[in-house]
Amino acid sequence: MVLGGARGQYADAQSKLTLAEQRRFKAEHPKPRMFLKTDLAKFENVWDDHPKWVNLGSQKNFARYAARIGSEWEKSSDSFNEFYFKRAVARGLIFRAAERIVSAQSWYNGGYRANIVAYTLAVLSDITKRKRNASTF
């Protein structure tokens, strides 16, 4: 997955490339693997026990995420490292897989997918945290 932070950043990265370089860029960084800062906020807030924020919509969710991360950054900017990025990408992959799984279900009628995915992954996150904490005793 590739983080596409600013609007149009993916296109800007290719704007000065030759056609051959653009093809190589797209092969290395396919657009479906890109995610936006609002996507990152969604992935992180779901796994960090804030699915209700995700269901507020992209902009409100991002604002809550930015405030939370800003506070965490002030406490320890060192925690925003390669592990943080890899974990965020993994969370994004799981989130998008859950969206595909829900969409493919016979019971799914086309509504509330965002809510279903957010709360399902929040429950999975809680289960894994409980398992991890139980195994440390």
User: What was the pLDDT predicted at 135?
Assistant: 73
Q: Please name the residue that has the structure tokens 């992954």.
A: 121
User: What was the pLDDT predicted at 8?
Assistant: 72
What residues contact residue 80 under an 8 Å CB cut-off, 6+ apart?
69, 72, 73
Map out the domains of the chain as residue ranges. 36-135
Cβ-defined contacts of 116-119 (< 8 Å, 24+): 117/46, 118/42, 118/46, 118/51, 118/54, 118/55, 119/51
- CA-based torsion, 113, 1, 90, 42: positive or negative: negative
pLDDT greater at residue 128 or residue 34: 128
User: What CA–CA distance (Å, rounded) separates 26 from 20?
Assistant: 10
Average pLDDT score over residue span 52-70: 96
User: What was the pLDDT predicted at 136?
Assistant: 63
User: What was the pLDDT predicted at 97?
Assistant: 96
User: What CA–CA distance (Å, rounded) separates 45 from 110?
Assistant: 23
pLDDT in tens, 91-120: 999 999 999 999 999 999 999 999 999 999
Q: Provide DSSP, 44-85.
A: HHHHTT-HHHHTT-HHHHHHHHHHHHHHHHHH-GGGSSHHHH
Give the 3-state secondary structure of residue 101.
helix
User: What was the pLDDT predicted at 65?
Assistant: 97
User: What was the pLDDT predicted at 74?
Assistant: 94
Longest dimension (CA), the chain: 58
User: What was the pLDDT predicted at 27?
Assistant: 87
Structure tokens at 102: 């829900």
pLDDT in tens, 2-49: 455 555 777 777 788 888 988 888 888 787 778 889 999 999 999 999
